Amino acid sequence: MNKDEREIKIPETDEQIDEATLIAWHKAPGDSVAADEVIAEIMTDKVNLEIPAPCAGVIIALMAEEGDTVSAGQTIASMRLKK
């Protein structure tokens, strides 16, 4: 990954969530996003969480599909920084 790209990861939470299900993507490759804009939602046995973009940019790849099981710290997408 070059300096103009960022990984979007499943956050590590205080609830000690090990696994979750990716239930929805709100953005697709090529879509522009603002910093903190919700790009995906995950569901655990305890909570539903929204995954925000870490910064403004353009989504370049999704690395998980809706319905996939994902883990804390797992990269689910990548984005290019907005210049």
pTM: 0.88
Fold designation for 5-81: OB fold (Dihydrolipoamide Acetyltransferase, E2P) (2.40.50)
User: Is 10 within 8 Å of 71 (Cβ atoms)?
Assistant: yes
Domain ranges of the chain: 5-81
DSSP per-residue string spanning 9-78: EPPP-TT---EEEEEEES--TT-EE-TT-EEEEEE-SS-EEEEE-SSSEEEEEE-S-TT-EEETT-EEEE
Summarised one tens digit per residue, pLDDT across range 33-74 is 999 999 999 998 888 899 999 999 999 999 999 999 999 899
